[in-house]
Structure 1
């Protein structure tokens, strides 16, 4: 369902916007009147933004670095004159395996992938929101803060929850809201660029099957969600309809609180 004009007059930066939940959020935000910067490290983010309805722009950059986050925010200001809303969607488990089976460099990669983009982008956007006199940050966390075979990812998303609550308290006096959703398992089309370019071993595929079983059985509804079911609450929290909501992490996981 499209709410025409809900984001009229708002400039929005949406990360991870080339694929999956981030793409759905960015396309719908633009259709609802927002001026939307699609951000992703995948170079095809530009074609995704160009195909979207509404006023859009795109930039490809690596948000695992502060320079990448700073470049994204500066691009939004250059294109649209400021920033009102940041939606931090970059993240996702690279591998599924028992914690004892993770190599040290794999643990570090999970933290870089699912914590640092949110940490860097929040830091990079704050001067722009302060200049604007307020704004909103929506972080996309996960209910996988409790789950099997992804302890480093769980740790990263626990960090996202902590960023959300602490930043909300610190910046409420400046009219900046900080909120998050915690998606559960979500059905999505095959990724054009996989999170694990090396591919999964047979053993890792078996571990993934165990994760799917655990996630499905942990929900009251006994199914994965859809991308649309994840995009809708993210955009609600980003909108003025949620103006009295801050510091909260909203589970969107069929009853599984993580």
Structure 2
């Protein structure tokens, strides 16, 4: 039995969970820990190496490759989870992340569109696709991974996208509470993680962007009461708490996980 399973006693036993962006980083950690705690987990990502991540699970886990920046990808993901497991109790919307760091005036229009498409639309689409399943089965839980970067420098389009995730979380929670569907979110701050296997900006950063990134790191660090970045475990644990029955009386809430920086 894994450490997570022994500590938490199989919190997700009998539960079906879908985790998006599960090939690396926070999503990978959430999926593997949920499987270790008894969950039946579908790991969704557009990177093929999500299949290798699923084989690491200490429990029941399957991988599914899809592009959640398109509605068809979200619909296919939901259909696959239902085909495999018969239901979806928990959806973790983890896809997102700033592509570029630069002052707002330096963004080209197509770059603005790309940031919104990356960090808002997958969550919006996945929520819409899963709702009929959760309504039909009599309830469920959605955990959105937002960001405290709704206040921050050099990523205004990303900030706007995550502000949209926050609004979606609160409005959806109000609208579907009578259907016994909880909708909550975490708002991570800066987080130390292994190097991404797929870079956030495939074009690479030029010298100016590298400087702007250093500005962001300084701002994020100084805005935290603890004057540091968090680690993956410090982000994964709150997500799984909100997903669990331990949080059954929490809905519509956005939990900052940023060392005191509320964003």
Instruction: Sort the TM-score into its range (normalised by shorter chain).
Output: over 0.9
Equivalence map 1:15-94=2 (5 Å): 15-94=20-99
Q: Distance in 1 between matches of 2:133 and 2:58?
A: 26
Shift of residue 52, structure 1, vs aligned partner:
1.2
Q: Deviations over 1:134-167 (max 9, x none)?
A: 0000000000000000000000000000000000
SS of equivalent to 1:159? helix
CA contact (8 A) 1:35 1:55 kept: yes
Shift of residue 51, structure 1, vs aligned partner:
1.5
Equivalence map 1:49-198=2 (5 Å): 49-198=54-203
Q: Distance in 2 between matches of 1:135 and 1:18?
A: 24
Q: Deviations over 1:237-257 (max 9, x none)?
A: 000000000000000000000
Shift of residue 131, structure 1, vs aligned partner:
1.3
Normalised TM-score (structure 2): 0.97
CA contact (8 A) 1:25 1:234 kept: yes
Could you list the runs of 4 or more consecutive aligned residues of structure 1 that deviate by over 6 angstroms after TM superposition? none
SS of equivalent to 1:57? strand
- Aligned-residue CA RMSD (Å): 0.6
SS of equivalent to 2:99? coil
Shift of residue 4, structure 1, vs aligned partner:
2.7
CA contact (8 A) 1:137 1:177 kept: yes
Q: Deviations over 1:170-201 (max 9, x none)?
A: 00000000000000000000001112111111
Normalised TM-score (structure 1): 0.99
- Count of residue pairs brought into register by the alignment: 258
CA contact (8 A) 1:4 1:31 kept: no
1:228 is aligned to 2:233: yes
Equivalence map 1:206-221=2 (5 Å): 206-221=211-226
1:11 is aligned to 2:22: no
Q: Distance in 1 between matches of 2:128 and 2:237?
A: 25
